[in-house]
Structure 1
Amino acid sequence: MELAEKNWFSSWFDTPYYHILYKDRNDDEAREFMQNLVSFLDLPKNATILDLACGKGRHSVFLNQLGYNVTGVDLSENSIRHARQFENHSLRFYTHCMCEPVDEKFDAVFNLFTSLGYFENEKDNLNSIKAIKQELKPGGYGVIDFMNVKKVIQTLVPEENKTVQGIDFEINRRFKDGYVMKDIRFTDEDMDHSYTEKVQALTLHDFQKYFQEAGIVLKHTFGNYRLERFDEQNSDRLILVFN
Structure 2
Amino acid sequence: MSEWYKQAFDDLYLEIYSHRDEKEAEKFVSSLGRVVAIEGLVLLDVCCGDGRYLRAFENAGAIGFGLDLSEVLLERFKANRADELYRVVRGDMRDFPFRSESFDICINMFTSLGYFGTTEEELRVIRETWRALRPGGFFVLDHVNPTWIENTLEPRSLRKKGEVLVEERRKMIDGGKAVEKTISIRSVKAPDVPIREYREKVALFRKDELQQMLEQAGYAVVKLFGDYDGSPFQKETSPRLIVLARKP
Same fold (TM over 0.5): yes
Match of 2:45 among 45, 51, 66: 51
| Counterpart position of 2:73 | 79
Unaligned runs of 5+ in 1: 1-5
Runs of 5+ consecutive residues of structure 2 not aligned to the other structure: none
Q: Is the 8 A contact 1:70 1:90 kept in 2?
A: no
Structure 1 segments (4+ residues) deviating >6 Å: none
Distance of 1:108 and 1:90 partners within structure 2: 20
Name the aligned partner's letter for residue 180 of structure 2: M
Deviation at 1:89, TM superposition (A): 5.3
Equivalent of 2:195, from 192, 197, 220?
Answer: 192
Q: Distance in 2 between matches of 1:191 and 1:234?
A: 35
CA contact (8 A) 1:56 1:80 kept: yes
1:10-159 correspondence to structure 2 within 5 Å: 10-13=6-9, 15-43=10-38, 45-87=39-81, 88=83, 92-104=87-99, 105-159=102-156
Equivalent AA in structure 2 for residue 62 of structure 1 = A
Q: Which one of the candidate residues 228, 232, 246 is aligned to 1:229?
A: 232
What is aligned with 1:204? Answer: 207
- RMSD (Å), alpha carbons: 1.8
Find the aligned partners of 1:211 and 1:55 in 2 and give their Cα distance.
23
Question: Quick one: distance in 2 between partners of 1:84 and 1:38?
Answer: 27
Q: Provide the secondary structure at the position in 2 that maps to 1:211.
A: helix
Deviations 1:94-148 (A, max 9, x none): 1111112342311100111111111133322100000111111111101101111
Between the aligned partners of 1:82 and 1:207, the Cα distance in structure 2 is: 31
CA distance in 2, matches of 1:118, 1:191: 25
Check the 8 A contact 1:61/1:86 in 2, yes or no: no
Say which SS state the counterpart of residue 232 (structure 2) adopts. Answer: coil
Q: 3-state DSSP class of the match of 2:233?
A: coil
Which of 228, 239, 244 is residue 241 of structure 1 equivalent to? 244
User: TM-score, normalized by length of structure 2?
Assistant: 0.89
Hey, what does 1:9 align to over in structure 2?
Answer: 5
What is the Cα deviation at residue 198 of structure 1? 0.9
Name which of structure 1's ranges 74-83 and 206-215 shifts more when overlaid on structure 2. 206-215
TM-score, structure 1 length as denominator?
0.91
Moved more, 223-232 or 167-176: 223-232
Q: Distance in 2 between matches of 1:108 and 1:162?
A: 37
- Does the 8 A contact of 1:161 with 1:170 survive in 2? yes
Q: What is the distance in 2 between the residues matched to 1:149 and 1:187?
A: 29
Q: Aligned partners of 1:140 and 1:219: how far apart in 2?
A: 12
Give secondary structure in 2 for the equivalent of 1:175.
strand
C-alpha separation between the residues in 2 aligned to 1:118 and 1:107?
25
Contact 1:69-1:91 at 8 Å conserved across structures = no
Aligned residues: 236
Cα distance, 1:38–1:85 mapped onto 2, change above 3 Å: farther
